[in-house]
Structure 1
């Protein structure tokens, strides 16, 4: 990091706790999608702390098999235990494991950070669930997971429903949506629950996260060829459909759909629309009609004009200060700069790989304030 590192260290000064670390991550050829997500997760403090606890509890297990969870725990432990406050760490072991685990990430082609986040969280859940099942089969090792309160049931095992398990990944990121459909003839409401790790929102030009969330939960009328089959009426009927948040997650991850398939072009086009995001967010429209309050702590930004090329950087908030993580480079930024990542106010923007100021955030992470 050299001069950049010393400059950052001076900027950090006494404003940050002694134990906090700010390390860039080496790029191994188009691995910025991975680095940006890792930085956002590292500064998701509840997730980081539980991952470090996991490492501390399992580091002495001699026959433990290497997997994505152990590699991630090892990487985060490396960062947090560094003597220096700043520097660069090569996440080589973790990246190698990702490529071994999923052929999608083996090439040097541009990858999608949101797809990688989904893959990683689901993979961590699978590993934790397997470990929990193995622990339950051993009377000497207590289980570290619990039942989900309102989640959907798993498939039957030996004729008996097996309730899904909740891991610390679920506790941090999982929320529950309810898909409600109301028959306009008999007024019967049919509700179906589904879990989520993030909300993917459609975007419009010169809009905001709040308006995108309202559109996500807006009522849609099903008629003509889209009529709903009502079990009570035993026939197709006009209906109203809407999606509501039944259980907000502790960490709210919002993905903005900035890549849209254009039939006339026969390819995906990036939407650099200006979408304003707040530092504090009230999530309304939940089942119990109470607001959940969140504070923004990370934004993953795609820089570039299309889905097949470009660059990812991560903006994170740490102890009331914002920093920009761009692979090996880390710098403090003023909060007022955050608005430059809302996107472009023009319908068509001539983005370049260096056009940070006109490229909008792709994935935003909010931590719950009142949970």
Structure 2
């Protein structure tokens, strides 16, 4: 599907400057940075869901670093034969690495190149995950989980990696290191507490997560959605709690909170109902998100502030139709210091970075305020944020 997304208004002056104008800001950025706009990815037939996910993962610096380390994907001659499943995961990882290399070096090797074709990765995925690549529109969230799961399985089969957990600053708030590098980047821990209202005995059940699914309701914000997931529930009537201390069914209070927060926090907005129809409602999302109020009392490390850094958008009316594309903040790129310096000169809001729109083969820069207006301020919109990627600030 061809997106109807239009470019933000851009004006140029003779001094090799590009002026990005929007409703609330006026920022000047050197043309040399505009030349750094990322390469696009060719749509190979309803593969926009794949392109959007790959573009976001590529721009997550720690994940990109993980994939590009070649030694991570080499099989030692002393290693026992991998299972067929691991061979599949290895083939996918190597194909993904090749795409990342093309995205990283393509613009430098050919300044006229504007996109690449991920045909080898597509062929590999089609071979090993045919249900996701049958020339029909698929779910970007499902593909993201499949891809991360595949790489996670591969690391689980290897005794060591050339890129260590220390390299990506992944020690958790409890002082324990995650089991693998994917969990180190995306994995968190939530605790469900159940307190008997008769004897006051409390039980804890901890569970890991790779992303958090949030409800969509009217124009309520992502903060409301997180609070809704964490709200206290009273177990009563036919839903009473089997208390091990009282040895009977009692009324109880149940709620959950975050125990450990990952460097990269992914929120999945539940836009699609059971009949796959879409809830075309806007969920306002802050650029900066403080997680303290939803954290367990044991979380005292102070690193609870996240910045919205990437968004995967669904455009359309249902799960099996429509179009996916991505927005990535220049905050994530290697040119962030250049952007920040130049924006600060003209705008006191130094955190106000431009964004890249990555829409199949089309890539361009959009101002932060224009992005927020487009995605979060329209009363109803078929272009709806679906996956939100927050990066922890340190």
CA deviation after TM superposition for structure 1 residue 203, in Å:
1.4
Q: 1:119 to 1:57 in 2, by over 3 A?
A: closer
1:128 corresponds in structure 2 to 155
| Closer/same/farther in 2, CA of residues 220 and 55 from structure 1, 3 Å limit | same
TM-fit CA distance, 1:236: 1.4
Alpha-carbon distance change, 68 to 242 in structure 1, aligned in 2, over 3 angstroms: same
- Measured on the aligned residues, the alpha-carbon RMSD in Å equals 3.2
Hey, what's the Cα distance between the residues in 1 that align with 2:246 and 2:32? 65
Pick aligned residue for 2:47 from 16, 22, 31: 31
- What CA distance in whole angstroms lies between the structure 1 residues aligned with 2:140 and 2:377? 18
Matched, 1:16 2:33: yes
Asked if structure 1 preserves the Cα contact closer than 8 Å seen for 2:232 and 2:254, the reply is yes
Hey, what does 1:232 align to over in structure 2?
245
SS for the counterpart of 2:62 is helix
1:257 is the counterpart of 2:270: yes
Task: For 1:32 and 1:338, locate their aligned partners in 2 and report how far apart those are by CA, in whole Å.
Answer: 20
Judged with a 3 Å threshold, the aligned counterparts in structure 2 of structure 1 residues 344 and 236 are, in CA distance, closer, same or farther, namely farther
Query: Structure 1, residues 41-86: CA drift from partner, whole Å, max 9, x if none?
Result: 111111112222x226656979996521111112111211222466
Partner of 2:315 in structure 1? Answer: 303
Aligned partner of residue 42 in structure 1, secondary structure:
helix
Runs of 4+ in 1 over 3 A off after TM superposition: 7-18, 56-66, 141-151
In structure 1, distance between residues paired with 2:260 and 2:322: 35
Match of 1:326 in 2: 359
SS in 1 for 2:120: helix
Give the structure 2 partner of residue 264 of structure 1: none
Instruction: Quote how far apart the aligned CAs of 1:220 are.
Output: 0.9
TM-superposed deviation, 1:314: 0.2
Deviation at 1:269, TM superposition (A): 2.1
- Structure 1 residues 323 and 148: alpha-carbon distance in aligned structure 2, compared to 1, 3 A threshold: closer
Which one has a larger percent strand, Structure 1 or Structure 2?
A: 1
The whole-number CA distance in structure 2 between the counterparts of 1:235 and 1:97 is 55
Which one scores higher on RCO, CA 8 angstroms, separation ≥ 6?
2
2-side partners of 1:241 and 1:106: how far apart? Answer: 41
CA distance in structure 2 between the partners assigned to 1:142 and 1:45 by the alignment? 16
Q: Distance in 1 between matches of 2:137 and 2:94?
A: 26
Structure 1 length normalisation: TM-score? 0.80
1:364 aligns with 2:388: yes
Aligned to 1:192: 205
1:102 CA displacement: 1.6
Shift of 1:207: 0.9
Please give the secondary structure, in 1, of the residue aligned with 2:156: helix
Structure 1 CA distance for aligned equivalents of residues 147 and 72 of structure 2: 21
Q: Name the TM-score, length of structure 2 as normaliser.
A: 0.76
**Unaligned segments of structure 2, at least 5 residues:** 1-6, 19-28, 331-335, 337-352
C-alpha deviations, 1:12-61, integer Å up to 9, x for none?
Answer: 7456399x661100111000000000111111111112222x22665697
Aligned counterpart, 1:88: 115
Deviation at 1:106, TM superposition (A): 2.7
Q: CA deviation at 1:131?
A: 2.1
8 Å CA contact retained: 2:37, 2:356 = no
Structure 1 portions without partners, runs of 5+? 136-140, 152-162, 262-266, 347-356
- SS of the residue 2:52 aligns to: helix
Deviation at 1:166, TM superposition (A): 2.1
Partner of 1:138: none
Q: Please tell me whether residue 315 in structure 1 is matched to residue 327 in structure 2.
A: yes
Determine if contact 2:172/2:178 at 8 Å carries over to the other structure: no
In the aligned structure 2, how far is the partner of 1:251 from the partner of 1:142? 21
